[in-house]
Amino acid sequence: MLCQFTVKNYKSIRDEITFDMQAAAISEHEDEIIKDIDGELFLPVSAIYGPNGGGKSNVLEALHTLNSKVLRPLCAT
């Protein structure tokens, strides 16, 4: 499970940004939060939003690039 993704210097993303799936300590919707065996809390859903040309698609492309780099050795065997 991917809990946190950080990227910088990728296409239009110059500064470091982090896409974090960890839940904040908020009691609202507590029954929807995922709890792992170590007791860490994670969100079941997250969103990327921002203005047009803000780099949202490039964050997704960076995730796709990571995915292809990680899975390529598995697919090649």
- Indicate the burial class of 43 (C-beta count within 10 angstroms; 0-12, 13-18, 19 or more): middle
pLDDT at 17: 95
- pLDDT value at 76 more than 70: no
pTM of the model: 0.76
70-75: average pLDDT: 72
What lies within 8 Å, CB to CB, of 57 at 6+ separation is none
48 vs 1 pLDDT, higher one: 48
**Residue-wise pLDDT tens digits, 14-70:** 999 999 999 887 778 788 889 889 988 898 898 999 999 999 999 999 999 999 888
